[in-house]
Amino acid sequence: MNEALLTLGFALVTASILALSAVAFTLEYAVTNVANVSHGEILTVGAYAAYLVHERTGNAIAAAIAAALAGGFAALLMQAAVIGPFIRFGATPTIVFIATLGMSFVIQNTLVIFFGAANVAYTLDPGAPQHLGPFLLTPLDLEIIASAIAITFVLYLIISRTKFGKALRAVSQNRELARVTGINATRVAAATFFLAGLIAGYAGFILAESVGSFNPYFGFSFFLITLTAAVAGGLGKAFGTMVGAVLVGIILEFAGGYISASYNLAFAFAILAIVILVRPRGLFTNARRTVFE
């Protein structure tokens, strides 16, 4: 029992990172209706940016900000240079899916050219583990969880309370109708990608911290888990995605702890296949609702 609770504690850390990555992915999906396969590379770019800035300044907060900004601009560039033009040109979602897959390959290899393919070790001092209720967590773990909750809360406020959030919801529900009412869908999509990139870049930074190292391919393998969480929660639905992320995080951590961590991805995909086959719109949705219901 005690061990199970410990595992649950670690699962919360995984779930926090996963929730941020998945919510960013689902926002990208919401405004464009295409799955951005190069989403994982935003995390990778964030991790590299954090590492480079940390090396120069020695300041973890500066590194976190650098990760978020790098992620934001990377996502903006993806939208402006590839996804946006493809959508305007009328490409089907599958074509954009393939195009973003190609782009992910381009970004990975560009990173290899500049930084090499080797693993980069990157850890902050996690501090001494402390008992917190039944959990055993380091201060770093706690910071990761707290930051994920804070970011989620701010995101909730942005989407539900601001004019931009309203426009975002409108575009995600019906792009054409939103445009008829005078919303600049392209600009909303760009802003959403920037916002999603900020979150994903930061997620890349905390993922690198929690794993302890990264390489040009690390975002892509995490993307596969992100995809599982987002699909489980319902693509394009921010709230559902977060619940999906927590569930997937917990299942993965328990499966990894009790069976073997090397099969993690296989587990993720088993979950994914089952969810897609049984509840293709996600676990907690009825068809009509979108984004933050």
Determine, following the binding rule CB under 8 A, whether residue 214 of this chain makes contact with other proteins.
no
Ramachandran angles phi, psi of 137, nearest 5°: -130, 150
Residue 194 CA to its chain's centroid (Å): 13
Cβ at position 205, least distance to other proteins in Å: 24
Residue 105 binding other proteins, by CB under 8 A? yes
Max alpha carbon distance in the chain (Å)?
57
- Give the shortest CB-113-to-other proteins separation in angstroms: 5
Kindly tell me which residue out of 80, 224, 254, 283 binds other proteins, with binding defined by CB under 8 A.
224
Strand partners, 135: 132
227 touches other proteins by CB under 8 A: yes
Instruction: Find, among 55, 2, 17, 8, the residue nearest to 201 by Cα.
Output: 17
Interface with other proteins in residues 6-45 (CB under 8 A): 34-35
Is 180 among the residues that bind other proteins (CB under 8 A)? no
CB 26 within 8 A of CB 36: no
Q: How far apart are CA 51 and CA 58, in angstroms?
A: 10
- φ/ψ of 213, rounded to 5, equals -160, 165
Cα 120 from chain centroid (whole Å):
21
- Which of residues 57 and 110 has its CB atom nearest to other proteins in the complex? 110
Among 109, 130, 162, 184, binds other proteins (CB under 8 A): 109
Binding region for other proteins (CB under 8 A): 34-35, 82, 85-86, 89, 91-95, 97-99, 102-103, 105-106, 108-110, 112-113, 116-117, 224, 227, 231, 260, 262-263, 265-266, 268-270, 272-273, 276-277, 280
